[in-house]
Structure 1
Amino acid sequence: MTDLAEPLSAICHELGALVTEAFDSHIAARLSDDDLLAALAALARLRRQTDALLAELAAQVDERADAAPHAERITTVHGCRSVSELVQRVTLVSRRTAGELLRAGRGIAQDTAPTTGTALDASYPAMRTAAADGVVGIDALLAVIDTLDRAECEGPERRSADDELAIAARGADEGAQPCAEELRLQASVWAMYLDPDGAEPREARALRKRGLTLGACRDGLVPLRGSLLPEVAGQLRRVFDSLLSPKVTASATGPAFVESETVSTDDADARSRVQKQHDALATALTVAARSGELPTIGGSAPTLVVSVRADDLAQDRGYAHLDDCDEPMALSVARQVACTGAVQRVSVDERGRILSIGIADRVFAAHQRKAIALRDGGCVIPGCSVPSAWCEIHHVEEAERGGPTHTDNGVLLCWFHHRTIDTGGWKVRMNRGVPEIRGPSWWDSSARWHPATKSPTRLLDRRDARRPA
């Protein structure tokens, strides 16, 4: 065979006609369960085979780029800075997918001997054959290649692992083919067995490769990428567990009593697990920043700086802006930050000259926080289990509108409910110094105000008050 593009184009044409017919006829909805799964399995096998060929071709592009002088490289000729960029542009995949194709290709490609021109053995010849047969796709290939490469095993040891994992991938042991994650687990067992240096060198490599990066803000979100050491990840999981466990309640230190007419709050929180973990991390960072134990920056504690025009905030329009972030933020960000910190007013003239600087401190003092924590016992929103030490104090009447930094105007809210107090359906008011909650219609269709506390002592007082003399 001297050409691949023409027969592949013919296959694409036939497959395109099949896909168009399937879409137009809505055949998927009419298939029986067995036929549906059979079609899914057949298409997955086709994808695995095309994945294998894509990896082989990507590896060839990589080899040619390395072998030629810079001016004659296939990347330079086609105006790309790297092999990854060229693969992205030709295949229209993401940078991540292009990287996966290249890594898989390097593992299964057969290099050419520079002197004789003959094909050399691939790094993982058994997995190469399994990929060509449509047994494994890119994800399964990388489950094996990445895991064994990290073990830094060579020669007969890697060949043995390659052979055994390829046999396992075909389902020869028990008859059932493992998925990519199961194959990764088997490869990790081989890696531990073959690693010649034991656990300590792995620890040294882990320390060397640990890291955390924040990407650029896009569409209001900042991507977080990195690798944590196991003990750091374990501590983070403990933080998540402490805030997210359904068994944790703000009144866990004692009995809790509720009003007889209080409705169930089982469905009060519609956040997904990953959203809750994000909010738990935000809570932990907020607590750490206000702890006073972090190093200072320019003589001050680590402080989040949000800027907003006073007119925009007063008229509830426009955007807020965060330091080191090019994207505009919602005004709710400015309100939440202003509610829990100091506000610095900077007056400028029409040319931008600073005329005056004023500072209004809205931070509740330590003794005020302790008193409010005693009164509220935790986030006052029903169904929320965030304890008082992890909560922020919300000015019920905004300081912008004359609300004082006083215990009669402060209430405990977790980071999430503080951020969404204007949009989440919950309302908070103070009734002679006591917080009251009004929930969404699904929580209480009567839209009544309910006294709110999770303090064990106050709940005991409320119980005693209801008892007959």
Structure 2
Amino acid sequence: MTNFIDALAGVDDVLANVVADVVEGLRVATDADVLGVLAAAGRVRRLVDAAMVEAVAVIVERDEAVSHADRATTRYGCRSTAELVQRVTRVSGRTAGDVVAAAQAVRRSVAPSSGEVLPAEFPGMRDALLSGDAGLDGVVAVSGVFRGSLGGRAGILAADEELAAVAQGRAADAGGSVSADELRAMARVWAVFLDPDGSEPVDTRALRKRGLTVGRRGSDGLVPVRGGLLPEVAAQLQLGLDSVLNPKVDVSGPRFVETDDGDGPFEDAADTRTAGQKRHDALAILLAAAAASGELPMLGGAAPTLVVQVREDDLSAGRGWAHLPGYDEPISIGVARQVACAGVVERVVLGEGGRIVSLTTLDRVFSHHQRRAITLRDGGCVIPGCDVPPQWCEIHHVQEHSRGGPTHTDNGVLLCWFHHRTIETGGWQIRMVDGTPHVRGPYWWDAERAWRPATKSPIRRQNQLPLRM
């Protein structure tokens, strides 16, 4: 066995030298040569996958035959085979889990009574793995589809044989090499064919396992969300996210760019948020819209309303902390300022002993008529480059209500949840000039930091066209 290890170590040394040469020469290589390197590297990786999977298959088989104390995982201080793989190979936990799953699918067990070597659960995919035609991803893609399948052993073997032939290019209608995703799609076709009665057992399990858990706020200031959604619920959520995140359609027609005098719209802002951050912000918009719709069930005799507690002096001064119901950890004063800007403020005066002395409601919410007028003027979030439509936006008091700013159309602008949340820290500034919003961007967007009129309203843009002729 030492010879095998030495042979692999020799391949390691040779491959390290080849990789060094490849990296050095790739910059001057042709596109065809670069793709050739990529294809060769992919085959090497698939062959390495085969060695890893087979090694793990041996570990799994040996651990099954001995007591817990004598297992390799126990002797090497690991809780599971996946952890052992992760520590030895330095792959991620997810990849280690895939290696173990693939090993279970293609390992050839030995019958304890006769010592006979039994065929693998997926013998065809095992051959494709050992030949380097299907890698770890391909084996996991196929075996995962048939996990818990009701198609019967004969049907699964038939599917395995055809899918392996496709992976190896031996199928009658083979059209070239296929990816792991394509193998998964083909496997799903087979799974539907083998289970013509439908996916009722899968649906039953999904109904039983569905759930959503909102955790406790961590030291990083975030609240973890875990769980699994039913497909139709996930699809509805995705539609909602898409409605907020859908980018503008690039059509031919007028283009609005900065004019020579610096007075025209300028929309080329960079959005540095990740895709995950954008989905988070879109979810915040959807939740706020749902709460404001009046369609949600009553809670405590009123519509579900986010209540943020903050001292009046702290809110006015812009320092200190605020609090959310149900959370012990305080939140930043910026959250309270955003909520106060777009919502109703109740002033509760407490006596020395904590008795409520007075309760006053300060109605600072823009009316429906004001919102429609501001929507007509602004057309959406006024920050250049932001595509959030007006129906998802909040109305921001340009001059804070706590500092005398009126709830008037001349003092309100449309901002999406994200830009409203970060208006004091994101580098954007807004002011009103003759009742219309003007925006000044941060230095990375506009080195001159000029004030520019901002609107997404098609009516106002049409009115500006004659001025550009």
Settle same-fold status: TM greater than 0.5: yes
Q: What's the secondary structure of 2:146's corresponding residue?
A: helix
Distance in 2 between the 1:379 and 1:67 partners? 64
Counterparts of 1:285-296 in structure 2, within 5 Å, are 285-295=287-297
Q: What is residue 189 of structure 1 aligned with on the other side?
A: 189
Distance in 2 (alpha carbons) for counterparts of 1:67 and 1:211: 37
1:450 aligns with 2:448: no
Q: Does 1:389 align with 2:391?
A: yes
Q: CA deviation at 1:325?
A: 8.1
1:346–1:354 contact (8 Å) kept in structure 2: no
What CA distance in whole angstroms lies between the structure 2 residues aligned with 1:400 and 1:180?
58
SS state at 2:165 partner: helix
Q: CA deviation at 1:309?
A: 8.9
Matches within 5 A, 1:31-430: 31-173=29-171, 174-212=174-212, 227-246=228-247, 263=264, 265=266, 267-268=268-269, 270=271, 274=275, 275-295=277-297, 302=304, 332-341=334-343, 364-365=364-365, 368-377=367-376, 378-382=380-384, 384-399=386-401, 401-403=403-405, 408-430=410-432
| Whole-angstrom CA distance in 1 between matches of 2:361 and 2:3 | 74
SS in 2 for 1:151: coil
Give the Cα–Cα distance (whole angstroms) in 2 for the partners of residues 149 and 222 of structure 1. Answer: 33
Whole-angstrom CA distance in 1 between matches of 2:358 and 2:102: 60
Range moving further from structure 2, 314-323 or 111-120? 314-323
Give the conservation status (yes or no) of the 8 Å contact 1:368–1:407: no
Query: Is the contact made by 2:323 and 2:331 (CA closer than 8 Å) also made in structure 1?
Result: yes
- The number of residue pairs the alignment matches comes to 450
**SS in structure 1 opposite 2:147?**
helix
Q: Is the 8 A contact 1:319 1:330 kept in 2?
A: yes
Aligned-pair identity (%): 48
Residue 7 of structure 1 and its aligned partner are, at CA, apart by 3.4
Cα shift readout 1:25-82 (whole Å, capped 9, x = no counterpart): 7233243433332222222111111112222222333334444333333333332222
Alpha carbons of 1:43 and 1:459: their partners in 2 closer, same or farther (altered >3 Å)?
closer
SS in 1 for 2:367: helix
SS in 2 for 1:412: strand
How far residue 122 of structure 1 moved from its aligned partner, in angstroms, is 0.8
Residues 199 and 2 of structure 1, relative CA distance in 2, 3 Å threshold: same
Aligned twin of 2:439: 437
Q: Is the 8 A contact 1:344 1:357 kept in 2?
A: no
**1:112 offset after TM fit, Å?**
2.1
Distance in 2 of aligned mates of 1:33 and 1:385: 37
Paired AA for residue 127 in structure 1: M
What is the distance in 2 between the residues matched to 1:272 and 1:122? 46
Unaligned runs of 5+ in 2: none
1:252 counterpart residue number: none
* Higher mean displacement: 306-315 or 171-180: 306-315
* Conserved? CA contact 2:374–2:409, under 8 Å: no
Q: Is the 8 A contact 1:307 1:322 kept in 2?
A: yes
CA RMSD for the aligned pairs? 4.4
| Gapped regions of structure 1 (runs ≥ 5) | 250-255
Matches of 2:271 and 2:347 in 1, distance apart?
A: 37
Q: Distance in 2 between matches of 1:60 and 1:321?
A: 55
1:393·1:410 contact (CA, 8 Å) conserved in 2?
yes
AA paired with 1:448?
W
How far did residue 313 of structure 1 move?
7.4
